[in-house]
Structure 1
Amino acid sequence: MAEVIYCPHCGAQVAPTQRFCTHCGLDVRGPLASPTASAAKTVPVTHQNMFDSATTQLNGWTGQRRKVPIKLGSMFSEVFKRHTEADAETLFIVGTGHTTPTLQQVSDSPVKPWLFSRVFVIFTMTIAILAGSFFLFNGEKMYISLIFMSALAVPFSLLMLFFETNTFRNISIFKVTKIFMVGGVAAVLATMVLYQFVNVQNLTVVTAIIVAMVEETGKLIIIAYYVRRLNARFILNGLLIGAAVGAGFAAFETAGYAQDLGLSVLLIRSLGSLGTHTLWGAINGAALVLAKGDRSLTGLVFRDGRFLRFFGLTVALHAIWDMPVPFDLILQLGLIVVAWITVLVLINAGLREVRTLQAQT
């Protein structure tokens, strides 16, 4: 069985005949490459399934070419445990000048969000009451409220998941809500402005690509604004900022569609929002901060290969989602899975960043 050697610094694969890592430039034969570390990185070549290959490739875009173990059961294990209101309040008060932890206090353990599920339950109860009032008692005044709460339910609940995932605890719920509301509307406005330069009438394969480019660019403009305004330096920060803009965009867009097409579109778009704008925004936000690092947000960041790969992926996911192709439901389920795998890989990269920064400190 052949053996593959990995760089002890970045984890990239190194051919047996190479002296320097092609990814980070480390002299893998030199004194800085400890024998112990090199031996630890020497592993037998094993066959990878499609899932492992995907996580390996995506993780390679973040700087470490290894597969990422996805353990959803462990990640969401806290959802089904009992938590008090005090536990929820503790999560909501983070991000202030007095409640932001130091770098050494930041946890690099696997994230286990749970509060988002309680937020979703609250939305579900509210929507049920509004729907009952509207359908049973002909409460026409409840119609607009029913549309808006239904449009908010899934995107805002997902946003709370990303809020919990930000283990740096350095962005408050007030800032997150402001980005969600103002940033979401601004992203819609930016998209409307960009649409003035293109002509999209009938949805075809080509126009679906144009729509994807326009909408992802519109959201990216606002994400970049908040990344620069908050001087976001950590991947998990970018993930949260991007999710906030994407969730706001999704909520306002869905409300607009429901106003035109009626209540039936709410269920379809709510199910679809499990893996669309909120996740696409999160991916782009994380990729932008991944490429930016400690630097200022300049044009060089947008030309960085790490950002361009993830941005190209979200444009592709968005374009395929909109394309008029057969087997829509099966295809969309696959796109949701791809988006979530990408998000989980970026979360893993964010936690790896925590460990690296703490080790450097």
Structure 2
Amino acid sequence: MKCPQCVYTNPDGVKFCLSCGEKFVKNNTQEDDNSLFYEFAHYVDMVPRVERSIEPKFQNIFSRVFKNHSELEAERLFIVGTALTTPKITEVKETWPKPWLFARVFIFALLAFTGLYIGVDYFKNVNFIPGLIIVGAFAVPLTTLIFFWEMNAPQNIAFYRIIYIVFIGGILSMLVALVFFNILRHNINPITIGIVEELAKAITVITFVRYRKYRYILNGLLIGAAVGAGFAAFETAGYALRALMSGDAQNLYITILWRGVLAPGGHVAWAALTGAAFCRVQGDQPFRIGMLVKFKFLRVFMLVILMHALWDTPILGMFPLGQIFLTISSWVVVFLLIRAGLKEIGNKKLFANYGPSN
């Protein structure tokens, strides 16, 4: 069904154009089983679109964090990625998004953690302990993942798919790492730990992104961040349980606190970089094993392994100053790959509009 106003091709049965909002004349002979969904999609789409910024300056990227936002704006974010709501590449903006929802998610998680902390520490109720560990382990990785979700300009991955990757990808990557650790059980050191864990996450990330449906650099960042978030959260929950079993409640809180503070620069960012580097190499091509030895992929993957090895190195000053420095370094590379991903979208738009001859 082509819109007479903007010539956008809509799915059959819609009452409004999903691009411009033009109302169609209803065909009485046609059943509109999805009318409620399309009315909702049209209503949500009336929310002003997120402002964009070309310059990757922090004051531009995070300028919407402290502004008021309606529930409709959040709802609009969560309906993207389906067959009916994924925009065409020509409709995707290649300018810098301005994420804000991740900050709200962090506040909600912090409030939940505070309530659980009061239940454990003040009321001495052990029933709150599992919730304290789970919320504490997932709070920051999930917040960081929502940031990558908002930065995924193509908006072609449904949120339920991301949650699936968090749990299945996180568990799968940990199991693969355990297999490698079992093979290298007599040679465990910071270097082998970095190699094993990053290789396990890389295998898992590539398993999800090797299909050409997720062919953008920003897709690789998001899916990699989902795998890394699952890995980081499950690992933190394990360390928190060990701290609890030691009999020192303060050790439990300290473990959750520091692993939460440093989570954005660890597994989440590293797996995101790996995913983005692989998607940058694969592009629109079918998966080939030779892609894994391409320099564009290997240089990022080796950098991730090096950062992980340094992170675990027990040298004086590495915790926390060295890890904070590594976190900043990781995010410098993340923003460079986000810029490369937005540039990739611009190039694909030009190709789609003008064809290969131009």
Q: TM-score range by the shorter chain?
A: 0.7 to 0.9
Give distance in 2, aligned partners of 1:279 and 1:135: 32
Calculate the aligned-residue CA RMSD, in Å.
1.4
TM-score w.r.t. the length of structure 1 is 0.78
- Structure 2 unaligned blocks of 5 or more: 1-53, 245-251, 353-358
Corresponding residue to 2:296 among 293, 306, 311: 306
Q: Which amino acid aligns with 1:116?
A: F
- AA partner of residue 301 (structure 2): F
**Counterpart residue type for residue 234 of structure 2:** F
| Rounded Cα–Cα distance in structure 2 between residues aligned with 1:317 and 1:185 | 22
Pairing 1:240–2:222 present: yes
After superposition, the Cα gap between the structure-2 partners of 1:355 and 1:234, relative to the gap in structure 1 and judged at 3 Å, is same
Count the aligned residue pairs: 290
Structure 2 distance, partners of 1:122, 1:154, is: 11
TM-score, normalised via structure 2 length: 0.79
The CA deviation string for residues 30-80 of structure 1, in whole angstroms up to 9 with x for no partner, is xxxxxxxxxxxxxxxxxxxxxxxxxxxxxxxxxxxxxx9641111111101
Paired amino acid for 1:255: A
* Counterpart in the other structure of 1:17: none
Q: Counterpart in 2 of 1:330?
A: 321
In structure 1, what residue type is equivalent to 2:142? F
Q: After superposition, where does 1:146-185 map in structure 2 within 5 Å?
A: 146-185=132-171
Deviation at 1:230, TM superposition (A): 6.2
Task: Tell whether the 8 Å contact from 2:103 to 2:143 is kept in structure 1 after alignment.
Answer: yes
Question: For the Cα contact (< 8 Å) 2:211–2:286, is it kept in 1?
Answer: no
Judge conservation of contact 2:212–2:285 (CA < 8 Å) in 1: no
Tell me which of 111, 123, 126 is aligned to 2:112.
126
In structure 2, how many angstroms separate the alpha carbons of the residues matched to 1:165 and 1:349?
A: 12
Partner of 1:321: 311
Q: Report the equivalent of 1:354.
A: 345
Give the superposition deviation at 1:297.
1.6
In structure 1, how many angstroms separate the alpha carbons of the residues matched to 2:267 and 2:79? 27
**CA deviation digits over 1:114-158, x for unaligned, max 9?**
101101111001001111111111110110110010000000010
Alpha-carbon distance in structure 2 between the residues aligned to 1:333 and 1:152: 20
Q: 1:68-87, aligned counterparts within 5 Å?
A: 70-87=56-73
Q: What is the alpha-carbon distance in structure 1 between the residues aligned to residue 56 and residue 322 of structure 2?
A: 22
Amino acid paired to 1:188: M
> Which AA in structure 1 matches 2:96?
P
1:324-349 deviations in whole A, cap 9, x for unaligned?
A: 11112221111011100000000000
Q: Matched residues in 2 for 1:101 and 1:144: separation? A: 40
Matched, 1:145 2:136: no
1:340 aligns with 2:331: yes
1:167 aligns to what SS in structure 2? coil
Provide Cα deviations, 1:246-297, integer angstroms capped at 9, x if missing partner. Answer: 0000000000010002312111111111211000010000000001111112
Whole-angstrom distance in 2 between the partners of 1:218 and 1:98: 34
Q: Which residue identity lines up with residue 144 of structure 2 in the other structure?
A: L
Report runs of 4+ in structure 1 exceeding 4 Å deviation.
none
Write the deviation string for residues 73-92 of structure 1: whole angstroms up to 9, x where unpaired. 11111101110111001001
| Counterpart residue type for residue 203 of structure 2 | I
Q: Distance in 1 between matches of 2:137 and 2:186?
A: 25
Per-residue CA deviations over 1:159-209 (Å, capped at 9, x if unaligned) read 00000000100000000000011111111111111111102577xxxx101
Return the alpha-carbon distance in structure 1 between the equivalents of residues 56 and 94 of structure 2. 16
How far the C-alpha of 1:241 sits from its partner, in A, is 0.5
CA distance in 1, matches of 2:235, 2:226: 14
Aligned partner (choices 195, 218, 242) of residue 181 of structure 2 = 195
The one-letter amino acid of 1:156's match is L
Question: In terms of mean alpha carbon deviation, does 244-253 or 262-271 score higher?
Answer: 262-271
Gaps of 5+ in 1: 1-67
- Identical positions, percent: 39
